[in-house]
Amino acid sequence: MRKVLFLGLLFLGGNLWARPVNENLEYAGYLKTEFWLKNYNDESHLSLSSFKNTFDLEVEYKLSENWAFFFHPRFFYDFAYDLREDFNSNFDRNQFKMGHTQRTEWLRDCYLDFTSDKLDIRIGKQQVVWGQADGLPFLDRVMPFDLSYYWLYDFADIRIPLWMIKVEYSPELNSTLQFLLIPDFEASRSAPAYAPFAFKANNDWYDFKTSYNPLLTIYRPPKQFENSRVGLRWRSILGNDIEYTLNWLYGYSTSAYTYTDSYASLQFSRRHKLMHMIGFSFNKSFVEPGLLEGWTIRGEFAYFHNEPTYYGTDGYRRRTERTDKYTYVLGFDKTFFTNWVFSLQFAQFIHDKKTFGGYQLLNTYTYGLLEKVENYLTLKVSTDFMHERLKPEVLIIYNDDNDGRISFKAKYELRDNFWLTLGYHHFWGPLGGSNGQFRNNDHLVLEAKYTF
């Protein structure tokens, strides 16, 4: 039934843009097909891990000069599970969660907009973006994330939209106060055990559950008004050339954390905890002649108070404690040779305590050992050829534990509105590292996308 519905949506999308449109109605969308081919580094062969087909439509209807309604559905179906007959039982088990759009996730955005000179109000399901870093989230923590494909998709595609109220008031030129009230709650999610990008910790838990049959209870905050998350952001320009923001967010963490309720009876739970985030960002472009001409320097800082943190021994979580964390990133951007854009970032993740109760700090994804200060370097290079018809891009992420990845993609406009993309994701590092856990999981990605 889901395949019939999906094919029907493709047919509808194929005919929609051929019809006349009211002058107050605007729409855009795409049809996309993706092939994800797993490259087993230790066996030197390719294997189909995803044949994902997506229909996406964005519709905006202008009700008046100040009011507009936006509607954004998205459906997908992964035909890989129907085509392959040699999937092992672990892979095949994940079809329910990975093979098609879940529950109400087909509705990406649905909101009512009011705009005026000083006051903007958006009510409904939406995304809010606070960060601008490449490849890693720092201030961008308002929305939960869907990490079924790790961090490999663009952030706009892996943020999980929420029902909320966003109010932005501009008391003066180039200054805005943003207020967020988020009564909706969705947890961040990752790929189920033994899916292509399942975290090592998830696989280990599945193996443990299969062997010992423990009791796992999941606690999520009820969707009640008193459990709403709230946020404030002040954005302004200092001295006419430095843009900055001051950010505050309070509420239940979108990530759930594992707790051991009883070792003796093998009782565990997954819980979301109340926490604060305080941060700021800045952005400065140098246009005056001199050594820094053409450079943009940007940065983000975030402090997390009472965020749950794992402690244990290498590969094994023993306890979960609430600690403070600090993280920041500095970015340096410049365009060389007319159209070569270079973006270099240096980032640190700083934990309040390296040890707790005699146990060591652990990586959330893998339960591998972490240092109190984790250093990251990233480099993103992009350009274009053939009058912007060919657009290659590469992103390199590396940390001081020799853990990293390289993500390359090249988009080619075959004809108007029809794009072909070739991509490759290469991972390396220790098994306990965030990227190293996928070191035998390189992927080749082929994509065809028609936009309208």
pLDDT higher than threshold 80 for residue 207: yes
Give the 3-state secondary structure percentages of the chain, helix then strand then coil, rounded to 5.
Answer: 10, 55, 35
pLDDT higher than threshold 60 for residue 6: no
The pLDDT tens digits of the residues spanning 163-193 come to 999 999 999 999 999 999 999 999 999 999 9
pLDDT higher than threshold 80 for residue 7: no
DSSP 207: H
Of 2.40.160.10, 2.30.22.10, 3.40.50.300, 3.50.50.60, the CATH number of 2-451 is: 2.40.160.10
Mean pLDDT of the chain: 92
Q: List Cα–Cα distances, 53 to 59, 108, 338, in angstroms.
A: 20, 16, 36
Looking at this protein, which amino acid is placed at residue 308? P
Determine if the pTM surpasses 0.95.
Answer: no
pLDDT higher than threshold 60 for residue 316: yes
pLDDT at 39: 85
Name the phi and psi angles at 324, rounded to 5: -100, 145
The pLDDT tens digits of the residues spanning 212-248 come to 999 999 999 988 899 999 999 999 999 878 999 999 9
pLDDT higher than threshold 60 for residue 200: yes
- Report d(CA 324, CA 305) in Å as an integer: 5
pLDDT at 4: 45
pLDDT at 91: 58
- How crowded is the C-beta side of 394, counted as CA atoms within 13 Å? 7
pLDDT at 44: 60
pLDDT higher than threshold 50 for residue 55: yes
